[in-house]
Structures are given as structure tokens and as C-alpha cells.
């Protein structure tokens, strides 16, 4: 990945995009994609969709969700402390002692998630987000009320870092990396002659209800759809590989196998990997994938789907970590597969 593309990825990762409030990151992504797409579409859910060959009958949809997990303010006490609920899969243990950016209605505030000093007993036993609070430095409810309303959102105040020129670490790699990847695939394909329509969708709300993917696929009516997301790496201390499988950073893109996945799309992906002499890894999704693929599959008359995932360490923490090499290889894989389509392929497993 050259420095220009890395800088764009880091810019996306620095942009707050809590589920239900993805507008800023969508506008930045659309501005970039406008340089390469034949057209840019939006919808009432807030999806942004970059399109190549919009007149083609065979339509390939790539979905990378741009929303990140967040905190949602649900109470302000008389001393000005903010209490919150989860907007997506927040891990309360990872939140302790973190700085946050409160995206207030009138002003953006910096706060800290307070924690009882260990000298005073610390936090013991099981606890959840209702046991935590944000301290923005206000002294009264009236003071903070000027800027923050119930329902406002907060994200961890955490800038992305590059580790050893190899890995990227930060908040919300799940799944702004996917948003980046689908855009890069379209950018690369814009330089080629392709026989199919390509719809790179930066979807919203995946972390909360996956409604964005439903809106996008229902509007596009794709011939096939691929969710581009992250999956659990298991290559760090303390993970039970016997239970969760062996997924490695720098081990290659991860293909899903299970009931929701169209086997013919996986064959196309595996052939593309073979053409590139690229290793791939596998994960099992027996019933559901837990990604946008589940919603896309059930739109219209039904959509054949597959799932290509980026191995990710420390899921839903402020220090999610992924490999730059894996990102590049996933882009290469999808470009190779789509560029090789004739537009005459049957995805019916009985043909």
C-alpha cells in the first residue's frame, strides 16, 4: 500500500462514524470515490454507493460497513456526569479509563470514563456500562446541558497507529477497513475493462441492526453480493484456538463456509486466489454470518452471497489491530475475481 492510500485509510479511521451518525465519513468517502466511479448513489438509510458500469445486467455488490461501535448518552446527573448505554457491542472492561469524544448537539467535548481508584476498592466483580460514567469537567447539569443532549453519541478518543510498519491499530477498524477495501477495489477496477456492474457500498448501521445493507441491496438488486468485513484473529496469547479456530494476521483473506454462503462464489474467489498464488484462510458460519451478508441475502427474490473477512485482533476494543498486507491481499483478491467475470456465470448450485 503506497503512502497516499495509507493516508486515506488513516483519515477514515480518524473520522467519527458511530452507528446512526455516519454522515461525515460517508461524505469524505464519496468525495474520494467520485474520482473513479461512473456515478455515486445515496439512499434514505445513509448508504453511499459508488458504481461502475451501471447499465450492466450482471451486478456485483460489495458491502463494507462504515459505522463503528459507540456510547449513547442516556442520563446527565446534577453534577454534570454523563451516563451511557451501548450503541453496538461495547466491552465495558475495555472502556475503563478511556478518553472519549462526545459528539454533542452544540459542541464536541472531550471526556474521560471515570474509574474508582484502586486505593478505594476499584471496580470489582461483574459490571456493565450502567456502572460507568463520563466526566467532561462540568460542575453542574446546567453547564453540560448547553452542549449535550440525551441520545448524543461518544466514541473513544483514540488515533490510529502504525505498528512496526506492518500493522494498523486503533478504534473502529471494524469496519472502516471494509469501507476502504470496497472503495479500493472499485478504484482499481476503474482502470480495467470489466464485463459486469460493480457496486461498492459503504453501508451504515451494521453494528446495531444491519438495516443499511438491507436498504442498499434492495435498491441495487444485485446478481451477487459479497460482504467485506472483519473476523476474529486468534494468533495472540490467551485465545483458545481449539474452540475458535486458527486465524492469523498475514495469513491471507478469510473466506466463510456455511449455510448462508453461495458455494459457487467461493469457488470463484478460490480460483482468483490460486491465480495470484495467494493463501486464504477459512471460518465457519453454519447458520448466520453476523454481517451485512445476512441482510443482503434476504432482499428481493434472494441474493447469492459470500463473505470475505480481514483478520482482526482485539475486536471491539480501542486497539483493534490488522495487517496492512492482509488489506492489500484482500483488495487484490476481489479485483482479480471481479475482473475475471464474464457476466454469464450461473450461481445456481444445481446448474
Residue carrying C-alpha cell 439512499 = 43
Residue carrying C-alpha cell 471526556 = 111
Do the Cβ atoms of 257 and 344 come closer than 8 Å? no
Residue carrying C-alpha cell 472492561 = 93
Which among 308, 312, 286 has a CA at the least distance from the CA of 224?
308
Residues in the chain: 351
CATH 3.40.630.10 for domain 3-68+171-339, yes or no, is yes
Cα distances from 22 to residues 44, 46, 51, in angstroms, run 13, 7, 20
Domain ranges of the chain: 3-68+171-339, 71-156
Q: What is the Cα–Cα distance from 326 to 319, expressed in whole angstroms?
A: 17
Low-confidence residues of the chain: pLDDT under 50: none
Q: What is the Cα–Cα distance from 40 to 86, expressed in whole angstroms?
A: 32
Q: What is the Cα–Cα distance from 287 to 257, expressed in whole angstroms?
A: 10
Which among 248, 237, 324 has a CA at the least distance from the CA of 281?
248
Could you please state the CATH topology (level 3) that the domain comprising 71-156 is classified under: Elongation Factor Tu (Ef-tu); domain 3 (2.40.30)
List alpha helices for the chain, DSSP H. 3-14, 23-33, 92-95, 141-145, 173-189, 211-220, 241-244, 263-275, 292-297, 324-339
Q: What is the Cα–Cα distance from 128 to 26, expressed in whole angstroms?
A: 31
pLDDT for position 123: 74
Torsion from C-alpha of 323, 328, 329, 334, nearest 10 degrees:
130
Is 204 exposed, middle or buried, given 0-12, 13-18 or 19+ CB atoms closer than 10 A? buried
Residues 80-137: tens digit of each pLDDT: 999 999 999 999 999 999 999 999 988 999 999 987 767 766 677 788 898 899 999 9
Is 83 exposed, middle or buried, given 0-12, 13-18 or 19+ CB atoms closer than 10 A? middle
The CA-CA-CA angle for residues 333, 24, 128, to 5°, reads 85
Amino acid at each position: 500500500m503506497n503512502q497516499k492510500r495509507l493516508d486515506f485509510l488513516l483519515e477514515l479511521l480518524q473520522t467519527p462514524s458511530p452507528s446512526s451518525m455516519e454522515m461525515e465519513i460517508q461524505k469524505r468517502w464519496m468525495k474520494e470515490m467520485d474520482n473513479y466511479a461512473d456515478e455515486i448513489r445515496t439512499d434514505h438509510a445513509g448508504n453511499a454507493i459508488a458504481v461502475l458500469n451501471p447499465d450492466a445486467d450482471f451486478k456485483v455488490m460489495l458491502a463494507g460497513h462504515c459505522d463503528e461501535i459507540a456510547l449513547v448518552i442516556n442520563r446527565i446527573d446534577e453534577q454534570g456526569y454523563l451516563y451511557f448505554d451501548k450503541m453496538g457491542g461495547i466491552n465495558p472492561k475495555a472502556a475503563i479509563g478511556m478518553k472519549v469524544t462526545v459528539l454533542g448537539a452544540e459542541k464536541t467535548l472531550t471526556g474521560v470514563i471515570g474509574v474508582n481508584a484502586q486505593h478505594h476498592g476499584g471496580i470489582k466483580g461483574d459490571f456493565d456500562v450502567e456502572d460507568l460514567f463520563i466526566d467532561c469537567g462540568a460542575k453542574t447539569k446546567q453547564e453540560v446541558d448547553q452542549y449535550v443532549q440525551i441520545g448524543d453519541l461518544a466514541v473513544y478518543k483514540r488515533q490510529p497507529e502504525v505498528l512496526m510498519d506492518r500493522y494498523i491499530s486503533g478504534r473502529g477498524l471494524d469496519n472502516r477497513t471494509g469501507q476502504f477495501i470496497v472503495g479500493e477495489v472499485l478504484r482499481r477496477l476503474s482502470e480495467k475493462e470489466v464485463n459486469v456492474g460493480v457496486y461498492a457500498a459503504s453501508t451504515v448501521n451494521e453494528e446495531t441492526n444491519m438495516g443499511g445493507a438491507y436498504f442498499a441491496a434492495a435498491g441495487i438488486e444485485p446478481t451477487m453480493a459479497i460482504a467485506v468485513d472483519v473476523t476474529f484473529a486468534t494468533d495472540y496469547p490467551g485465545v483458545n484456538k481449539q474452540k475458535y479456530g486458527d486465524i492469523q494476521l498475514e495469513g491471507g483473506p478469510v473466506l466463510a463456509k456455511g449455510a448462508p454462503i453461495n458455494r459457487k462464489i467461493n469457488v470463484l474467489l478460490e480460483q482468483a486466489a490460486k491465480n495470484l498464488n495467494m493463501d486464504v484462510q477459512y471460518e465457519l458460519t453454519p447458520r448466520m454470518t453476523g454481517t451485512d451478508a445476512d441482510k443482503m441475502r434476504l432482499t428481493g427474490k434472494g441474493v447469492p452471497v459470500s463473505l470475505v473477512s480481514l483478520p482482526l485482533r482485539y475486536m471491539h476494543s480501542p486497539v483493534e489491530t490488522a495487517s496492512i498486507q492482509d488489506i492489500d491481499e484482500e483488495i487484490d483478491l476481489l479485483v482479480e475475481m471481479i475482473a475475471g467475470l464474464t457476466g454469464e456465470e450461473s450461481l445456481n448450485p444445481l446448474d
